[in-house]
Structure 1
């Protein structure tokens, strides 16, 4: 996702947290990290956000600890706490995204032997299926991941069919989408005529995108820059990428579909 800067305060908080964890921990704490700690012997997984958590849950992980609270929309701005490091110290796997640069520092500071796994966070259906299958193999839960994919494929097909039936005049709507919400355009079968972001739209981009006369603008709720194409007549649709605290990925698609259908219906 977007290029980000690690705040000095984050690093200071991490250093302070390290002192607390190492001061309170013991050899038995660090040596107890094992998949047997998880439910029914399944791996203990620590994830930076609910997005990685949803991927892990879909892949079959049952013991999942989320570090960054859902209320924090921009994960790299989060300051790790001592309890976060304590959770990492007992994990089998730590899942993170490339734009969360403190993940490696968390693992190092906690002295964890967990496997650090980079996850490609993209809700494109094909990419999600590939990542869930990869994680399922990594966790040893391939059967759960395969069952989830069957459910996901059926739900995705249903939502996509419903959205296509809602096309205004029976024609695929032209859309401009933020680069990290392109998956929702694909879900709707919309025709993408331009993309923007993650940086704010420049005057030149604004002029170019407006000329393409999109019916909809798909905005990333977590990186919104406000109204993208003012005075263009295009309806702006807010798309949420992150799942809720239940770590269920399917509502992300259902909610996006509902917003898109509402926008296409003119209501």
Structure 2
């Protein structure tokens, strides 16, 4: 039994071959690190074999300690960059003794990324790689699109100086983090803002995250 803090860890666990996955933080909580665990969460952890969490989630160790769990606490590198996701799924497959399942998923991941990358390159405005500014946790989406990253921002708020710096790059698109958005990032730069969602849905389908991002990017590039 695997207990995960959010659907993001849950998707990695499922991709690695875990079949019994319990998610603690409801998907309705927009910013997962702000979640306050309930007694029922502690009860779930008490029965777990593994508890998966991310280093930016301050409550994971407290959950395990409060529940008196014997579970193995596993820190997950939550990054949707395909190479990093592939490595993390493979690692978890080793921990869960589900290496074959993890290998099957990584093969599907490679195929999905190749397909989406081809579709996005075909949608490039004017047939040229678009210039983008990415939030630090959405760089993977720029890579998926084959875009040219001319600047990054976050996770701290964009200062006036940073705003001027990024606007001067004249990006065609801003890839914002839907989970940490502060509204329009470059209001006067003429850039199309695309909201990128990192967290999978309740079905814990990691591949859907890439498909959804590709759909939003294609939509934006079609209007560019």
Structures share a fold, TM > 0.5? Answer: yes
Post-superposition offset of 1:101: 1.1
1:92 matched to 2:67? The reply is no
Number of corresponding residues: 224
Post-superposition offset of 1:49: 0.1
Q: How does 1:213-228 map to 2 (within 5 A)?
A: 213-228=170-185
Q: 1:239-259 CA distances to partner (integer Å, 9 max, x unpaired)? A: 000000000011110010011
Post-superposition offset of 1:265: 1.1
Q: 1:4-54 CA distances to partner (integer Å, 9 max, x unpaired)? A: xxxxxxxxxxxxxxxxxxxxxxxxxxxxxxxxxxxxxxxx00000000000
1:45 matched to 2:7? The reply is no
Q: Which residue of 2 aligns with 1:156?
A: 113
Question: What is the TM-score of this pair, normalised by structure 2?
Answer: 0.99
Structure 1: 4+ residue segments shifted above 6 A: none
1:125 matched to 2:82? The reply is yes
Counterpart of 1:59 (choices 16, 23, 29) is: 16
- d(CA) in 1 for partners of 2:158 and 2:210? 26
- d(CA) in 2 for partners of 1:165 and 1:228? 27
Post-superposition offset of 1:79: 1.1
- d(CA) in 2 for partners of 1:53 and 1:258? 23
Post-superposition offset of 1:77: 1.2
What is the alpha-carbon root mean square deviation over aligned residues?
0.7
1:110 matched to 2:67? The reply is yes
1:77 matched to 2:77? The reply is no
- d(CA) in 2 for partners of 1:71 and 1:125? 26
Provide the secondary structure at the position in 1 that maps to 2:204.
coil
Question: What is the TM-score of this pair, normalised by structure 1?
Answer: 0.83
- d(CA) in 1 for partners of 2:123 and 2:107? 25
**Rg larger in structure:** 1
Q: 1:141-177 CA distances to partner (integer Å, 9 max, x unpaired)? A: 0000000011111011000000001111111000000
* Structure 1 spans left out of the alignment, 5+ residues: 1-43
Provide the secondary structure at the position in 1 that maps to 2:137.
helix
- d(CA) in 1 for partners of 2:15 and 2:26? 20
Q: 1:68-121 CA distances to partner (integer Å, 9 max, x unpaired)? A: 000001112111111111110110000000011110011011000000000010
Q: 1:221-263 CA distances to partner (integer Å, 9 max, x unpaired)? A: 0000110001111000000000000000111100100110111
Counterpart of 1:211 (choices 152, 163, 168) is: 168
